[in-house]
Amino acid sequence: MNLRQIEVFHAVVTTGTASRAAELLRISQPAVSKAVMELERQVGFELFDRRSGRMLPTVEARLFFREVEGAFSGLTHLKAAAARIRDFGSGEIRIASLSALSTNIMPKALRNFQKRHPDVAITFQARMSSMVKDLVASGQFDVGIAADEIDLAGVESAPFADYRVAIAMPVGHPLEEKSVIRPEDLHGQDFVALAPEDTTRRQADQIFSEHGVLPKIVLETPYSTTICAMVDAGLGCGMVNPLTAEPYLGRGLTLRPFEPAIHFRTLLLLPPDSKPSRVVSDFIEELMKLRNL
C-alpha cells in the first residue's frame, strides 16, 4: 500500500467514477483501475461495486474511507506547515527579553508584528539577562534582548539601544524640587538598588565611591520594573530605565535626570551560526523601529 494508491482510492470515492478520478489526478483511466485493483489485493477486500460505469464503494470501503479522510486531513496540515516554512521559516517565534523592556517596547513591537503575521504563534518570556542569553544560545528561543553585562559566548550579538538612567522617586520626595539629581544628593537616602552584577549598578557604585557618597540601600533587585514598584510604594528612590517607569508616571512616581550620565546598554541576541528566518527578521525590523522610543 502506497500513498498514490490511497490518493486514487480517495479520488474515486469522491468523484464516483474512474474517468473523473483520472481527470482529477491527471493520470490515465487504466492507471486508476490498476491502482484500485492493487489496493484491493493488498487490503484483502473489494472496495467498489462496478455498476453502469460508476464505482460504488462497498461497506468495507466506506469504513476504510473514514480512516483515509483522517490521513488526508493530516496531509493537508503538513502541506500548510510546509508552505509556512517555505514562506516564513516557521509558524512560530519565541522571544525572550530583559524585564525592563517587557512593558514598553516589546508589547508595541509584538502588536505590530502580529498585524503582519496573524497566523504566527508567539511565545514571549521576560527573564533576567543571563537567562535570556542561555535560552537563545541553546536554540530554545529565536531572538533575545539582554543587558550588556552578560557573557556573550555561544550567541551572536549586536548593540540594540542605550537608555539614559533616571532617578525615580515618590511624588513629594525631598529631591523632587531638584531639576537634576547628582551623586551627593543621594547620600544617606533610602535607595532601591539594582543587583550588584548589573553594569549600571557597577557604574553607579564607582561614581558614588569617587564622590564619597553612600546611599542607604534598603532593597536590591535585578529588575527596573521592581524598582519602580518599590519606589511607587514609598520605599525610597532608585535608578531606572525611563521607559520602564512610564506606566508609573502620574500615579505616585516622578523622574529626574542623573548627572553624570549613566546608560542602560542593551544587546540583540541570536542563536549562533544560523541565519534568521523571515519571521524572525520581520520581528527584529519591528523592534528596531521602536528601540529609541
- Rounded distance between C-alpha atoms, residue 248 and residue 93, angstroms: 30
CA of residue 274 relative to chain centroid, distance: 17
Sorted by sequence, the CB contacts under 8 Å of residue 241 that are 6+ apart come out as: 100, 101, 163, 165, 166, 224, 264
Query: pLDDT band for position 223 (50/70/90)?
Result: confident
Q: Are residues 152 and 175 in the same domain?
A: no
End-to-end Cα distance, the chain: 61
Q: Are residues 220 and 143 in the same domain?
A: no
pTM of the entire predicted model = 0.64
Identify which of 259, 257, 255, 258 has the alpha carbon closest to the alpha carbon of residue 171: 255
Q: Are residues 105 and 157 in the same domain?
A: yes
Distances from the Cα of 92 to the Cαs of 82, 183, 280, in angstroms? 13, 46, 9
Sorted by sequence, the CB contacts under 8 Å of residue 140 that are 6+ apart come out as: 94
Q: Are residues 171 and 209 in the same domain?
A: yes
| pLDDT for 194 beyond 70 | yes
Question: Which residues does residue 95 pair with via DSSP β-bridges, in sequence order?
Answer: 124, 143
- Rounded distance between C-alpha atoms, residue 220 and residue 230, angstroms: 10
Q: Quote the cell numbers at residue 283.
A: 520581528
Residue 271's pLDDT is what?
Answer: 93
Query: pLDDT band for position 84 (50/70/90)?
Result: low
Residue 197's pLDDT is what?
Answer: 85
Which of 59, 88, 117 is at the close of a domain? 88
Q: Are 134 and 197 in contact, with CB atoms under 8 Å apart?
A: no
Q: Are residues 74 and 207 in the same domain?
A: no
Angle, helix 278-290 to helix 105-116, in steps of 10 degrees: 140
Q: Are 132 and 231 in contact, with CB atoms under 8 Å apart?
A: no
Distances from the Cα of 217 to the Cαs of 44, 99, 267, in angstroms? 82, 21, 28
Of 241 and 79, the structure prediction assigns the larger pLDDT to 241
* Domain assignment of residue 209, given as a range: 166-261
Residue 85's pLDDT is what?
Answer: 62
Q: Are residues 155 and 270 in the same domain?
A: yes
Identify which of 104, 131, 106, 152 has the alpha carbon closest to the alpha carbon of residue 284: 106
Q: Are 270 and 276 in contact, with CB atoms under 8 Å apart?
A: yes
Residue 80's pLDDT is what?
Answer: 66
CATH code for position 223: 3.40.190.10
> What is the tens place of the pLDDT at every residue in 224-275?
889 999 999 999 999 999 988 988 888 889 999 999 999 999 999 999 887 8
What's the total number of domains in the chain?
A: 3
Which of 55, 71, 88 is at the close of a domain? 88
Identify which of 129, 116, 154, 149 has the alpha carbon closest to the alpha carbon of residue 270: 154
> What is the tens place of the pLDDT at every residue in 117-173?
988 889 999 998 999 999 999 989 999 999 988 889 999 999 999 999 999 999 999
- Rounded distance between C-alpha atoms, residue 270 and residue 211, angstroms: 39
Q: Are residues 124 and 175 in the same domain?
A: no
Residue labelled with grid coordinates 537563545:
136
Query: pLDDT band for position 1 (50/70/90)?
Result: confident
Q: Are residues 174 and 255 in the same domain?
A: yes
Q: Are residues 187 and 201 in the same domain?
A: yes
Q: Are residues 249 and 178 in the same domain?
A: yes
CATH code for position 18: 1.10.10.10
> Among residues of the chain, what percentage have pLDDT more than 90?
55
Mean pLDDT, the chain, whole residue set: 89
Q: Are residues 138 and 184 in the same domain?
A: no
Quote the longest CA-to-CA distance of the chain.
103
> What is the tens place of the pLDDT at every residue in 3-44?
888 888 888 988 988 899 888 889 999 999 999 999 999 989
Q: Are residues 68 and 154 in the same domain?
A: no
Residue labelled with grid coordinates 547620600:
187
Residue labelled with grid coordinates 540594540:
160
Q: Are 195 and 205 in contact, with CB atoms under 8 Å apart?
A: no
Q: Are 219 and 206 in contact, with CB atoms under 8 Å apart?
A: no
Residue 246's pLDDT is what?
Answer: 87
